[in-house]
Amino acid sequence: MGKHSYTGRFFTAWDCSIGSFCSISWSVSIGGANHDYERLTTHAMLYNSDFGFLGDREPLYDRFGSQCVIGNDVWIGCGSIINRGVVVGDGAVIGAGSVVTKDVEPYSIVAGSPARKIRMRFSDEVVSRLLVSNWWELPDSIIKENLWLFGRTPGDDALDQLERICNLREDAYDPL
């Protein structure tokens, strides 16, 4: 889990990566195991030796599959489920109670079961500028000195200022 990301109670995750500055609410599940419903049985005996059927044999399939990736600055509402292998882009918002079965674009808002795109958080130009900025990689000291900037809406002036601080090295930094 990246820096300053946090979760609420009853959060579960399996084999996933979570970026920085993510806000993950309570009762969220990310990347849990899949049951292969196209086989004669969906029972765990096909991949879990605890039931005594596998013996020395390898599991019949990989119940975990590919890793789930949560980008930076992602907000995930309470009770949401994000399936295995899903990639959630930077800045995305996932509405409470959503079941995310497909990749989520950066800075998009999705909700529902299955989750569908509601809209983009910002215009294409703003999204592009935010993605290029990688502001979540800034040193904490720079974010702290410019905290007021992060509470603004992303108009041209705010984005210009954000780009300015993102292009400076910490040792050459002059606060606004």
In terms of domains, do 92 and 137 share one?
A: no
Same domain, 113 and 31: yes
Q: Is the peptide bond before 114 cis (omega within 30 degrees of 0)?
A: yes
Residue 29 falls within a domain, yes or no?
yes
- 110 and 31 assigned to the same domain: yes
The rounded distance, in Å, linking the Cα atoms of 158 and 160 is: 5
In a domain, 1, yes or no: no
Regarding whether 164 and 97 lie in a shared domain, the answer is: no
Note whether 154 and 106 are same-domain residues.
no
- Walk along the chain (176 residues) and give the pLDDT tens digit of each residue: 999 999 999 999 988 999 999 999 999 999 987 777 888 888 888 877 889 888 887 766 666 668 899 999 999 999 999 999 999 999 999 999 999 999 999 999 999 999 999 999 999 999 999 999 999 999 999 999 999 999 999 999 999 999 999 998 544 555 55
CA–CA distance from 144 to each of 97, 141, 148, 174 (Å)? 33, 5, 9, 13
Residues 68 and 144 in one domain: no
Question: Residue 46 is part of a domain; what is its CATH number?
Answer: 2.160.10.10
* Measured CA distances, 111 to 87, 95, 116 (Å): 15, 5, 6
Residue span of the structural domain in which 136 resides: 124-172
Active-site annotation, residues:
35
Residue 86 and residue 23 share a domain = yes
